[in-house]
Amino acid sequence: MPAAPSRTLLARGHALHLGPRTLIMGILNVTPDSFSDGGRSAAPDDALANARRLVAEGAEILDVGGESTRPGHTPVAAEDEWARIAPVIPALVAEMGVPVSVDTYKAEVARRALEAGASIVNDVWGFTHDPDMAKVVADYDAAAVVMHNRAEVDESLDIISEMLGFFERVLEIADRAGVKREKLVLDPGIGFGKSFPQNLAAIRRLPELRVLGLPILLGTSRKSLIGKVIQTTPQERVPGTIASNVIAIMDGGVEIIRVHDVAAHVQAARVAEAIRDAS
């Protein structure tokens, strides 16, 4: 599949050029219970050091999360979530020179993060969990990643039809709140409310989401999907993550990939794009 058409995502003073070159979003979890690194960036100084490394390796967006949302996670109160990311976001905004995304489904946390200088809200419930989230995004003229999610797995569903219906509802919510469509990015939500076959189908059939006319972000980094294909720990899943993202770049023209391992993915993405776009 050819590259997606070029477009610009405006995120509070940052212009992200989407299209032929896939952007790399680096993951910065400031949580003590991150499934992938066990709290490696929980302390503010460690978070900043890891952010510097991610940007040096080629991350063009930093996605900061104060609550683990892995399956079976323990929910965190908004005040506790904010306390984890409050020391980090202003420092990232001041130093890193790339847009900062806040990974939260709580409107109050998003509001505080945007007030502190964040540019993007990455909502794992796609405006459907907190009724105030879309308005916060609109009020701050932020960009947003809206992810497909389900409270329960239903293996009988055609997952692409389910996602299309979900995203249509999300777009209605966004429109009512005043969020401009060109501010939105879709995330199929790999590992969230889907069976193993549905996760595989969601990646394989990404081009079918193009009917909505919006850019796509894919997040498969170190997830259990890979461990179900071949038994591995999260830290051992880098090759599988690269494989899933290369397929998404080649077949789906995905505009953004969200990853822990930035340097490896910069190289993989550039090679995949060069092959895809060769005449």
Alpha-carbon span 215 to 228, nearest angstrom:
28
Beta carbons of 29 and 69 less than 8 angstroms apart:
no
Q: How far is CA 149 from the centre of its chain?
A: 13
Strand segments (E) across the chain: 7-11, 14-18, 23-29, 61-65, 100-103, 120-123, 143-147, 184-187, 217-218, 256-259
Beta carbons of 139 and 180 less than 8 angstroms apart:
no
Alpha-carbon span 104 to 122, nearest angstrom:
6
3 burial (CB, 10 Å; 0-12 / 13-18 / 19+) is: middle
Alpha-carbon span 271 to 279, nearest angstrom:
14
Q: What is the full DSSP assignment across 2-13?
A: PPPPPEEEEETT
Alpha-carbon span 115 to 219, nearest angstrom:
26
The residues, ordered by sequence, that sit 6+ positions from 271 with a Cβ below 8 Å of its Cβ are: none
What residues act catalytically? 223, 258
Alpha-carbon span 258 to 186, nearest angstrom:
12
Alpha-carbon span 148 to 151, nearest angstrom:
11
